[in-house]
Amino acid sequence: MFAATLQTIVLIAVPVVAAVAVAGVITGVIQTIVQVQDQNVAYLPKLLVVVALIALAGSAALRLLEQLLHSAAEALPRLLGL
């Protein structure tokens, strides 16, 4: 159960974190080139990446969470010793 939970966390979180990191690096490079050092400019591309990922992969992430919840509900009596 613990391994399945960790696997689900990794499958959902790592793509989001990686995409936001790439967007942050690209935004930082562009800001350096055009010499704009405003923090608010870096926020919008990251927000757009997260919104796009939710739109594209949100249903797959919800299916993974649904499978995990179903597994946890099935394992609950065994874990409680019932």
Contacts of 16 (CB under 8 A, 6+ apart): 50, 53
For the chain, the domains span: 2-80
Which tokens is 23 given? 């967007």
Closest CA to 45 of 63, 64, 24: 24
* Whole-number pLDDT of residue 57: 93
Going from the first residue of the chain to its last (82 residues), give the mean pLDDT of each consecutive group of 10, the final group possibly shorter.
90 94 93 85 90 94 94 90 80
The position carrying tokens 């350096």 is 32
* Whole-number pLDDT of residue 39: 78
